[in-house]
Structure 1
Amino acid sequence: MNNQIKNLYQRADKQERLIIGLMSGTSMDGLDIALCTVRGYGVDTEIRVIEFCTASYDDAFRKQIKAVFSKKNANLDLVCLMNEHIANVHATFINDALETWGYKAADIDFIASHGQTIFHAPKSLHRLSGYPNGTLQIGDGDHIAFKTGIITLSDFRQKHLAAGGEGAPLAVYGDYLIFSKKGENRIMLNIGGIANFTYLPGNSNASAVFSTDVGPGNTLMDQYMQQNFGRFYDKDATISSSGNPNQKLLSALLGHGFFELDFPKTTGPELFNLNYLHQAQKQSSTEKINKEDVMATLCHFSADGIVNAIKKSVNKEKEFWVFMSGGGIHNPLLTDLLRKNLPRANFDTTAALGIQPDAKEAVLFAILANETLCGKKISFGKGVPSVFMGKISLPT
C-alpha cells in the first residue's frame, strides 16, 4: 500500500480527528480558518472548535479575485493563474495560523477547503438549453496539500452537481448532523453575501430537511457601499439607518421571478449585483433618490427576502427558532427587521449551540470532510443529494 494511502486510512480511522475547515465567501473579506476536533460521524458527530481566526484579504488580493469573480467574460489566463494563486495564499494563511496556535502540520489530520467561488450558474440563471447546473470554485487542493503537508479535501460542490443538485447550498448536511433537536423546529440562517437557511423540523426526519438560498444577504449592500461611499461595508448599518426605504424601489427589487421559484434554489452575485439594482431603479423611476435611501431600501430588500422565505417554510408552526450566523448578524438594522417581521420566532446566534457564528461555515466544511472520510449514507429529501463530497489531495 502507498504510504500516503496508509496515512490517509490511519488518520480517518482515529477516534478523534483534527480537521481544519476553510471558508471564503462571496464577500471576499478573508479566509475563515476553524481548527476542530471531530469524533464519530452522522448523527453521532461531536465537533468542537478549538481555534478560529479570519485571515483578512488585503486590497491587492481582493482586487485580483474580483478580476475573475462573477464575470461571464473573465480572462481565462487569469482564471487559470488565480486557481493556483488563491491556493498558495490560503496555504500560507494556514501555515501562519498553525504557527500562531502552536501546532505542527503533522498534528493536523485533514484540511477541508471550500475554495473561492468565482461563478455560480444554476439552470434557473443561465437558461441555456442542453447545459446542466454549474458552479466553479478555485483554489486548487493539491497546492494546499503540498504546501501545508496536510491531506486536503476540496472542490466539494461538484459531486452535488453530479448527483442532480445545484451545487449549493451545502450547509444542509452539517446543519442536520449537529444542530437538529427533537421537538424544536429550527431555521439555521446564514447571512453572508447571499442569504440561505436550512430548515430542521422538530421531528428530526432527514427526508423533510432542506436548505435553500433566499436572495441577497450582504452582497448588494456591500457593492453599493464600495461604489458610492468608498467603504467595504456599512459598519453598524450607519448609512442604511440614516435613510428611509423607498417602497417603489423595494417592490421592483422583489419583483424578480427568482423569488417565486420553489425550494430548494440557489443564486449568487451573478444575479444580485449593481446592474440588478440599476434595472430596478429604472423600472421604478427612482434613479434620483438619495444614496442613504437606496441603502435603507437594500437592507429592507435583504430582510424581506429572508422573512418571506422563512414564512413559507414554517407557515404551519406556532413557534420556531432561528439561529443566525454569517456577517449579516453584525448589521443591527437587518437583524431588527427580521425580529420585527417574524414575531413567532425565537432568535439567537449559533453561539447558543456551541459554534461561533463567524466560524460556522468553515466548521460545516470540516463536517463534510469528516463524512466523506468516515460517514455512512444518509437519505435526505427532495433536492438534497445523498452523496459524499470532496476530492482528496495527498501532500506528496
Structure 2
Amino acid sequence: MHSHIQQLYSIADKPRRTIIGLMSGTSLDGLDVALCQLSGDGLNTQVELLRFATVDYDDNYKQRVKAVFAKREVDLQALTLLNPWIALEHGRIINQCLAAWQLSAADIDIVASHGQTVYHCPKRQHQLAGEGNATLQLGDGDHLAMATGIITLSDFRQKHVAAGGEGAPLAVYGDYLLFSSKDENRIMLNIGGIANFTWLPQTLDAEAVFSTDIGPGNTMMDAYVQRHFAGQYYDKDASLAMAGRVSKPLLDALKQDSFFGLSFPKTTGPEVFNLPYLAKAQHASGTTQLSHADIMATLNRFSADMIIAAIQQTTAQLDKFVIYASGGGMHNPLLMNHIQQALPGVSIKTTADLAINPDAKEAVLFAVLANECLVGGKQKFSNAREGIPGVTMGKVSFAD
C-alpha cells in the first residue's frame, strides 16, 4: 500500500478528525477558515468548531477575480493563471491562521476547499441543446496541498454535476446531516451573494429534503455599491437602503425573470442577477432617473420579497416551522426586517442557536463533506426527485 493511501486510512480510522473547511463566496469579501473537529458520520456526525476566521481579500485578489467572474468572454491566460494563484493565496491564508492559532500543519488532518466560483452554468440557464450542467471553481487542490503541507480535498461540485446535479447548492448535504431534527420543521436560510435555503422536515424523510437557490441575496446590492460608492464594498447596516424609498415599478420589473417561475430545486448566480439585469429592469420600468438610495431600497426589497415568496411556497401547508439564518445578508437589518414582517408568526433564529457560528456555517459544511468522503458512505443520502445525487464528493491532493 502506498504511504499516502496508508495515511488516508489512518486519518479515516481516527475517532476524531481535525479538518479545516474553506469557503470563498461570490461576494469576494474574504476567505472563511473554519477549524473543526469531527467525529462520526452520516446523521451521527458531530462537529465542534474550534477556531474561525474570515480573512479579508485585498484589492488585488478582488480585481483579478472580478476580471473573469461571471463573464462569458475572458482572457484565457488570466483565467489559467488564476487557478494556481488562488490556491496559493488560500494556502498563505491557512498558514497565517495556523500561526495565529499556534498550530502546525501536522496538527491538521485535512483541508476541505470549496475554491472560488467564477462561472455557474446550469442547463436551465444556458439552454444549449446537447449540453449539460456545468460550474467552474478555481483554486487547484494540488497547489493548496503543497502550499500548506496538508492533504486537501477540493473541487466538490464536479461530482455533483457528473451525477446529474447542477453542482449547487451543496449545503443540502451538510444541512441534512448536521441540522435535521425530529422536533421541528426547519428552513436553513443562507443569504450570501445568492440566497438559498434547505428544507428539513421533522419527519427526517430524505425524500422530502431539498435545497434550492432563491435569487439574489447580496450580489446586486454589493455590485451597485461598488460601482457608485468608491471604497465601499457593501451597504453597511443598510444605511443607503434605509435612506431611500422602494420604487414599485422597478420592483415589479425586477421580478419578471423566468427563473422565479421554475420549480424547486434550481440554481442561479451573478451570471444572471447583475448590474445589466438592473439596467434592463430600469429601462423597462422607466426608472432610470431614480436616486442611488431609492435603487438600493428597491434592490433590498427585491431580495427580501423573493426569499419570502420561496419560503411561503414551501411552507404553505404547515402550521409551524423555524428559520435558521446564516450568511452575510443575515447582518443586513432592513433585509431581515422585511422577512420578519412578512412572516410575523415565524421564529427567525441563526445557526448560533444550533451551536454553529452563522458566519462559519458554509465553511463548516465543506468540512462535513470531507468527513463524509473519508468515513461516510454507510448511510446514503439522496433524493432523485429533487435532483440530489447520493455521491461521494471531493478530489484528493496529497502534500508531496
Give the TM bin, normalised by the shorter chain: over 0.9
Count of residues in correspondence between the two structures: 396
Output aligned runs, 1:262-341, within 5 Å. 262-341=263-342
RMSD in angstroms over aligned alpha carbons? 0.7
User: Is 1:54 aligned to 2:58, yes or no?
Assistant: no
Residue 248 of structure 1 aligns to a residue whose secondary structure is helix
Residue 15 of structure 1 aligns to a residue whose secondary structure is coil
Residue 357 of structure 1 aligns to a residue whose secondary structure is coil
Please tell me whether the aligned partners of residues 323 and 348 of structure 2 are also in contact (alpha carbons under 8 angstroms): yes
For 1:281 and 1:262, how far apart are their aligned partners in 2? Answer: 27
For 1:367 and 1:344, how far apart are their aligned partners in 2? Answer: 32
Alignment match, 2:174 = 174
Alignment match, 1:257 = 258
CA shift, 1:201, in A, is 0.3
CA shift, 1:228, in A, is 1.2
Q: 1:394 aligns with which of 383, 389, 398?
A: 398
Please tell me whether the aligned partners of residues 109 and 151 of structure 1 are also in contact (alpha carbons under 8 angstroms): yes
Output aligned runs, 1:92-131, within 5 Å. 92-131=92-131
For 2:58 and 2:124, how far apart are their aligned partners in 1? Answer: 34
For 2:304 and 2:105, how far apart are their aligned partners in 1? Answer: 42
Output aligned runs, 1:36-75, within 5 Å. 36-75=36-75
Q: Unaligned regions of 5+ residues in structure 1, if any?
A: none
CA shift, 1:127, in A, is 1.1
CA shift, 1:68, in A, is 1.2
Query: Which amino acid in 2 is paired with 1:385?
Result: P
Q: Deviations over 1:323-359 (max 9, x none)?
A: 0000001100000001001123210000000000100
Q: Deviations over 1:290-315 (max 9, x none)?
A: 11000000000000110000111111
Please tell me whether the aligned partners of residues 36 and 49 of structure 1 are also in contact (alpha carbons under 8 angstroms): yes
Alignment match, 1:145 = 145
Query: Which amino acid in 1 is paired with 2:395?
Result: K
CA shift, 1:206, in A, is 1.2
Q: Deviations over 1:34-91 (max 9, x none)?
A: 0000000000000010000011101111101111111100111011100000000000
Residue 51 of structure 1 aligns to a residue whose secondary structure is strand
Query: Which amino acid in 2 is paired with 1:364?
Result: L
Please tell me whether the aligned partners of residues 4 and 394 of structure 1 are also in contact (alpha carbons under 8 angstroms): yes
CA shift, 1:379, in A, is 3.5
Alignment match, 2:233 = 232
Q: 1:380 aligns with which of 382, 385, 389?
A: 382
- TM-score, normalised on structure 2? 0.98
For 1:320 and 1:156, how far apart are their aligned partners in 2? Answer: 30
Query: Which amino acid in 1 is paired with 2:319?
Result: K
Alignment match, 1:346 = 347
Residue 69 of structure 2 aligns to a residue whose secondary structure is coil
Please tell me whether the aligned partners of residues 30 and 57 of structure 1 are also in contact (alpha carbons under 8 angstroms): yes
CA shift, 1:368, in A, is 0.4
Residue 358 of structure 1 aligns to a residue whose secondary structure is coil
Identity among equivalent pairs (%): 56
Please tell me whether the aligned partners of residues 175 and 198 of structure 1 are also in contact (alpha carbons under 8 angstroms): yes
Please tell me whether the aligned partners of residues 208 and 380 of structure 1 are also in contact (alpha carbons under 8 angstroms): no
- TM-score, normalised on structure 1? 0.99
Task: Tell which deviates more after alignment, 381-390 or 366-375.
Answer: 381-390
Task: Tell which deviates more after alignment, 337-346 or 93-102.
Answer: 337-346
CA shift, 1:183, in A, is 2.8
Query: Which amino acid in 2 is paired with 1:348?
Result: K
Please tell me whether the aligned partners of residues 173 and 381 of structure 2 are also in contact (alpha carbons under 8 angstroms): no
Alignment match, 2:203 = 203
Q: Deviations over 1:140-180 (max 9, x none)?
A: 00001111111100000000001110000000000001111
For 1:356 and 1:379, how far apart are their aligned partners in 2? Answer: 25
Please tell me whether the aligned partners of residues 40 and 46 of structure 1 are also in contact (alpha carbons under 8 angstroms): yes
Please tell me whether the aligned partners of residues 320 and 344 of structure 1 are also in contact (alpha carbons under 8 angstroms): no
For 1:17 and 1:103, how far apart are their aligned partners in 2? Answer: 15
For 1:221 and 1:74, how far apart are their aligned partners in 2? Answer: 24
For 1:320 and 1:344, how far apart are their aligned partners in 2? Answer: 9
